[in-house]
Amino acid sequence: MRTRVPIALAVTTATLLTACGGGSDDASGSQSPPAATVEDAAAAVAQGLSTGSLQNVPLRSGDPNADLPVLLRGMNGLLPKVTVQDIRRAGNTATVDFDYSWPLSADWAYESKATLVDDKGTWQLIWEPSVLHPKLTTGNRLERNRTTTERGTITGRGATVLVQSTPLQMLGLNKAAVPNTGDQQSSARTIADQLNLDPAAYQQKVAAAGPNAFVDAAPVRTEEIPANYSRTKGAESRTVNLPAAKSAGYAKALLGTVGYATEQEVANSGGTIYPGDVVGQSGLQKTFDQQLRGRGGNKVYLVPRDAAPGTAQSGSDNLVADFPDAPGQTLQTTIDDDVQTRVEDAVSKAKQPVSIAVVRLGSGPGGGAVLAAGDSPPARAKDDSTTGRLAPGLGASPVAALALIRSGVKLSDKVTCERSVNVGGRTIDNPKGFSYNGNSMTLEQALARGCRTAVAQAASKLRPSELEGAAKSLGLARQADLGTPVNLGGFPAPSGDLAAAEALIGQGGEGAVQASPLALAVMAASVQAGRTVNPSVVPDRTAGADGVPPLTDGEAKSLQAMMKQSTGSYGQLKEAVTGEADGRQILVGYSDAFAVAIVVSDADQSSAPSLSTLARQVTSSSSSSSSSSRSSGSGSSSSSGSSGSSGSRSSR
């Protein structure tokens, strides 16, 4: 336990320290209390050296506050970690041994010594440059030379290289060419819109950059530069070599992006990032940036204090540290290049926001692996396939079905699919042109075929607390750190019949049920597997299932049977459900190989791709790859209930 210095002694010591030039003042102008023991004093010195300032350390002699900035100038912001190794006391003097560790391409470790003197209960430091390094004197300083290294690659299943160095055009805004702040913001928005970036985020980046900065927007291949790009005031490009995927937007929601380090990133890096370094900006590239970036080679020299930075002359007599570069390491992922390529082909030309996620099937190891996630250009800015917060409609009918089952409702109950119903004072309609209006069917069939009115009328039988539990049992409504941002949805307990009806049919306003396409694909995989599937993008980094109510065999069979009651043809998806919400059409199902979720926004536009076309494109090769894409598990499901009437559905 630390002993506090008595107030009277602190005042006396403060006066003494002021005369000696040590100590520091706080915001109110009072002196920092000195360390009471030699151990505290030594620890304070180690802490100060680790931060590059000894302002709070009482001094016996020397001026580290003038020395340290000069001694460290050539280290380019890099600071050591300093710890106390040993203290040897003799009377009122103590010798302290410090351990140093500098984060170069490998740890640069050495020892140094310092002398502390006890002056009337206050331990004071005798400062000498050798405290920082044994070979430092009053005439020299440290100088670090650094070489860059290659960034690690990202691979998918089968060690397929997904990202590698590629010649690109970095598009961005040259602020020097647009002096007016308003014009800069206008140009920034235009550039962001052309590149499908978040306009507000890019405008903020432009505003924060220096007055003559070239503000990176996005790297693209030459053939991908938008038409009329150069007509925007200040819009320019420069040739760069950067890690890039095989095509524009390829798996961006998972892989993320890279770019050149900003001034802020350099300043906050503690000397590990230099201007011009390539750093991860989003997704896996950002989360695993340190692993992928590696460390450049480092040499540290002793140079004259008055030598200009960067002028160190190599030679064995002044070289104190020499570490080769440590190249970035490969990051292995679950992404399947074949599946991801089919997804990209499906979404790349869509003029509407279209998002698709694909998850590997199986109840054993590997089940839940994310094989692909892709967005059309309009959906790419916010990575809707993995982080979207979208109303799922009856695309989330398995959650509704499970919540009703746990509320004591039988899916075999007969219902009528009305054109519209009133629940809690609100009229709920079926989609325009819905072919089952007026039909009698089971609740199971209503859930599978997207009859909103029949499902909504079951709201009075729902126990609100069962909704979130059902979602969790199917892999949703959880926090997950997969190494790239994901949203596994939210299914809060509804309050009242109207909120319950909206929750069951996957609609509603603020605070209502929502999910990303990835979350819905995880849900479908959980139904097929008969257990909660935990998604993963990087092996051994999965969403946890603690506290998740498990699916029973009976529940799993009921959900699998419900999925079989859907009608329509969607490529090689064996079971699928569809829904509509907020102008979107949603398809969720599974084939022999994987679970798929597809969301098409602005689906009423004539140019919008149909769900069936997209499903065929994504699943076109699933049969040939199913044996390698699926681990052992329950691939079949038992059927119950009548087959119901066939016919077209309103979903595309």
Task: Determine the Cα–Cα distance for residues 164 and 207; give it in Å rounded to an integer.
Answer: 31
DSSP string, 513-526: -BB-HHHHHHHHHH
| pLDDT surpassing 80 at residue 4 | no
Q: Is there a single domain that holds both residue 474 and residue 609?
A: yes
pLDDT digits (tens, 9 = 90+) for 160-202: 999 988 999 999 999 999 999 999 999 999 999 999 888 999 9
The β-bridge partners of 589 are 576, 596
Q: Is there a single domain that holds both residue 374 and residue 444?
A: yes
Look at residue 4 and tell me if it is in a domain: no
Spatial contact of 102 and 80, defined as CB atoms under 8 Å apart: yes
The DSSP H or E segment spanning 50 is helix 38-51
Look at residue 30 and tell me if it is in a domain: no
Spatial contact of 415 and 409, defined as CB atoms under 8 Å apart: no
Q: Is there a single domain that holds both residue 555 and residue 441?
A: yes
Angle at the Cα of 396 (from 561 to 387), degrees rounded to 5?
140
Q: Which domain holds residue 203?
A: 164-244
CATH of the domain at 114: 3.10.450.50
Q: Is there a single domain that holds both residue 462 and residue 511?
A: yes
Q: Is there a single domain that holds both residue 448 and residue 349?
A: yes
**pTM: predicted TM-score of the whole model, two decimal places:** 0.77
pLDDT digits (tens, 9 = 90+) for 485-520: 999 999 999 999 999 999 999 997 666 899 999 999
Look at residue 365 and tell me if it is in a domain: yes
The pLDDT-based confidence of 533 (bands split at 50, 70, 90) is very high
Question: Could you give the number of structural domains in the chain?
Answer: 3
Q: Is there a single domain that holds both residue 446 and residue 491?
A: yes
Q: Mean pLDDT, the chain, as a whole number? A: 87
Q: Is there a single domain that holds both residue 76 and residue 191?
A: no
The DSSP H or E segment spanning 476 is none
Q: Is there a single domain that holds both residue 191 and residue 129?
A: no
Q: Is there a single domain that holds both residue 502 and residue 599?
A: yes
Spatial contact of 333 and 538, defined as CB atoms under 8 Å apart: yes
The pLDDT-based confidence of 35 (bands split at 50, 70, 90) is low
Percent above pLDDT 70 for the chain: 88
What pLDDT is attached to residue 647? 38
Q: State the average pLDDT over residues 209-229.
A: 90
Spatial contact of 549 and 384, defined as CB atoms under 8 Å apart: no
Look at residue 521 and tell me if it is in a domain: yes
What pLDDT is attached to residue 7? 30
Most confident of 32-46, 268-282, 390-404, 632-646: 390-404
CATH of the domain at 502: 3.40.710.10
Q: Is there a single domain that holds both residue 168 and residue 239?
A: yes
Q: Is there a single domain that holds both residue 487 and residue 583?
A: yes
Q: What share of the chain is helix, strand, coil (3-state, %, to 5)?
A: 30, 25, 45
pLDDT digits (tens, 9 = 90+) for 6-22: 333 333 333 333 333 44
Q: Is there a single domain that holds both residue 532 and residue 593?
A: yes
The pLDDT-based confidence of 30 (bands split at 50, 70, 90) is very low
Percent above pLDDT 90 for the chain: 70
Q: Tell me 626's DSSP state.
A: H
More confident residue, 449 or 19: 449
More confident residue, 626 or 566: 566
Query: Which residue among 89, 109, 142 closes a domain?
Result: 142
What pLDDT is attached to residue 313? 66
Q: State the average pLDDT over residues 325-337.
A: 94
